[in-house]
Structure 1
Amino acid sequence: MYPAVYSLHLHLEDQHPVTFRANDDLINIVNLDRSRKSMLTEFFALNRVDENAKRLLYKEFLEYYVWNQQNKDWTPQKKKTVIGRIVTANPFEGKRYYLRILLNHVRGPLLFDDLKIVDGVVAPTFRKAATMHELLQRDSSLEDCLQESSLYQMPSSLRRLFVTILVYCNPTNRMELWKRFEQDMSDDFKSTEDSISNVRTQVLKSISFTIESMGKDINSYHLLDDDICFDEEEFQSREIDDELAVEILEEDIAASQSLNNGPGGTGKTFLYRALLATVRSIKLVALATASSGVAAPILPGGQTAHSRFKLPLDTDERNTCCVSKQIALANLLRAAKLIIWDEAPMTRKQHIEAFDKMLRDINDSDVTFGAKVVVFGGDFRQVLPVVRKGTRQQQVNSSSVYSYL
C-alpha cells in the first residue's frame, strides 16, 4: 500500500500497444499522434527538452513527473515517494530483456539507439551495450530479475523463471541464486508439507521436472553440494499423470459419434478432438502437437512439436531429437497410444525423420515411428512450392510439394 508502486511501459521501438475501439478506422488510429506515444517514447522526448529529466533513470521518473494517460505526456510534480517499476522482462525475450537492463542504468537517453552508445562507441545490440557497461559480468541483472519477480510472482512462476535463467542464461552464481531465492520459490509448499526438508524436496522436484522438460538434468547446474536424487518411479510418472489429467469435454466425446455428419465448418480440428477424447476417456495417453505455436493451443493439452519432441533446431540429417531413454519424456512417449501432429506439411522433412529415429530408439523398435499410432494432419495448400531457376524464367516443380513427406 505504501509507498505506491507503478509499472512503467517496456517495449522495443515501434512495438508499443495501442488501444482503440472495435469500430474505429485503423488507418486513422495509426495516423494519430497519440498512437505513436507511450511512457517510454515520452521519456525520451522529455529528455530532449528538460535538463532535470536527463539526470533521472527511467524508473526514477515517477518521483518528479506524473503520467497523463489522456494526453500521453509527462507532467512535472513535487517530489514524492513513489516507486517506478519497469515491466519485467524474461531473459528468454532477448532484446527486450537487455533493453530493460540498460534503462535501469543509463540516464538521459534521447532515443532507443542512444542506449547502445557506450563511451562514444555504438554497440550493435542492446546485449552488447549491456556487456560494454559491464552490467552482465557479475550476473547482477539476473539477480535483479529474480528479486523483482519475487515481489509479485506466484512461486510456481518464479520457479519457471529460475529454470529459464539456468538453462538459457548460464549464470555463474547458480548456487548463490538458489540460496537467495529458495524461500520465495517454496511458499506454496510450506502449507502442505510438514518439514523444511520435505518443502525443499518438493521445490527441487518441481524445478527438476521443468528442467527435464527442456532436455536438461538438474544435477548439471550444481545447485547443492551433492547430487539431487528422487524416487525415480514417482518422478518418471509425473508427465504421464499430467497428460492423463487433461480435461476431456463432453462435446469432444460426443464428436466421435458425428464424424460423418459434423456441423458445417468442422474439419481437421473436429477430428483431432474426437480422437483425443476417445483415447483419453479410457485412461490412455494421447499427445496433441502442432508445428506452430498458434495451432497448438487449439487442441486440448496441445504443445508445439519442437517443445514436445525436442526437435533439433538445425536440419542436418545427422541431427536427432534431444530425448534420452532415461528421462520422463521418454516414458511418456512410450506410454502414448496416439500422437497427433497438426500442420505437419509445414515442418521440414528432416524433423519428421528425426522424430521417427527418436521413437524407434526409445521403443527399441525397427518399425516406423516405433510402432506408435501417429496421425499427421495439415493442409498441403499452405506449403510453399520449391522454385527452381531456369534460363529464362522460374519454373515450379509441383511434385516437390508432396515429395518431402
Structure 2
Amino acid sequence: MKTKQPENDEIKEYYDCRYISACEASWRIFSNEVNYRSPSVMRLPFHLPGQQTVCFGPDEDINQVLNKPSVNSSMFLAWMQRNQDPNDHVARTLTYVQFPRFYVWKLDKRIWVPRIKGKTIGRIHSVSPSTGEAYYLRILLNKVKGPTSFDDIKTVNGRVYDTFRDACYALGLLDDDSEYIEAIKEANISGSADSQSIIVVSGLSIPDEQLKNYVLCEIEKFLTRNNSSLRRFLSMPYPDTSSLDNFRCRLINEELAYDRTELQNVYQGQFMETMEEYFLFTVMAGPIVLNVASSGIASLLLEGGRTAHSRFHIPLNLNEDSVCHIKPDDDVAKLLQQTKLVIWDEAPMVHKHAFEALDRTMHDIFNISNPSRSDVLFGGKVIVFGGDFRQILPVVPNGGRQEIVNASLCSSLSVE
C-alpha cells in the first residue's frame, strides 16, 4: 500500500525563508566585517618595466596625472625602493613573497613600513606561461632576494642578462621540468570545482592509455584557447582524437549504470539538483552542445557557458514580434546548424517572448528552403530548458499574478 505524499505548503515554505534580523541588518549597513581569515593573505602584484597600472579620472588634467606619485610607484616598485635603504638590513634578505610577513603596505603613502603586529602571508599573482617575460619574471621573484631594480632581478653571478628568461636559464631554473611541475601543483591547489569533478564514477576502471589520451585532449583544448598546440612541443605526444568519442560513450554508460538507483529517487521527486547536474554532465560529453543560461552567474557554472542573450543575440526590448539578430549566412547561424543540442539553464526567469523570438529566428534559418517544416519548433533542434519555477519568474513591471504567469515559459506557444 502506497503512502500518500504530503502536499507542498508553499505559504509555509515562504515564511520559513531566511530572515535578517535588525541587529544583522545594522551590522551590514555599517559595513562591519562578516567573515575573517587568519592568517590574512595578501596578493602581491608585479609588472614588467614601465607597465605599472595608473588610475585616473576622465576629468583630470594630464599634467597632474603624470606628476602623481602613483605614476612612478606601485607596490612592486616600492618593494625595490625599500631594498635601497642602507639602514634596513632585513629587507635585502627577503624575497617578494616573504616581504608582507615583516612589512606593511601603506596605501595612502604608497610605501612599505616595518610590521609591528599581526601576520600576513604573501602570494604573487599567477600568470600563464604563454605571457612570456612576465612568467619568467614571476619565477625569479620567488628566488631573488632584495633587488633594488629590474636589472638586479635578472643579474646572475655579476652579469646582467638581456631578458628574464635568460636569467632563469642562467640560474638553472629551466634545465628540467621542476618549474612546470610546480605550476601543475599550483593549478591543482587552486583548481575550480568543475576541474575536480570530470570523472566521478566510483570504482570505474579506465586503462592508462585511454586516460592519458583523455588528459592530452584536455590539455590540447586549453592550449588551443590560448593560440597554441601540443604540436609545438616535440617531446610531448599528441592525442588520438578518433578514440576519444568511444571513451566518452563508455564513461557515460558507466555513469548511467552507477546512478540508476539515484535516478529512480529523482523521478520520485527527490534530489532534483542531483538530477540536473547529472543530466548536464552526461549530455555535455557528446557532440556540439551550446550551454546557455538566463543570468551571467548561472552561465559561469556551465562549461563554455554564455548568457542566452549573448549567444543568440536576443533583443533587450522584447515584444510578441521580436526576432534575434542572426542572419542566415553569419557565423552564429553556421554554429546553430552544427549544434545537436541546446541547454538553457534558469529558463523560467526569462520572458516567453525571448523563446518565441529564438523559435522564429531558428525557423527562418533552418526552414527557409523547406517551407513544409513550418510547424517544427526551433527549426528541429533539441532544446532542454532547466530551472525551478519556484525560484524566479519573469519580472513584469506592476504586473500581478496573472500577468507574471502569462509571461512565463509555460505560457509560450513555442514550448510544448
TM-score when normalising by structure 1? 0.49
Q: Which has the larger radius of gyration?
A: 2
TM-score when normalising by structure 2? 0.48
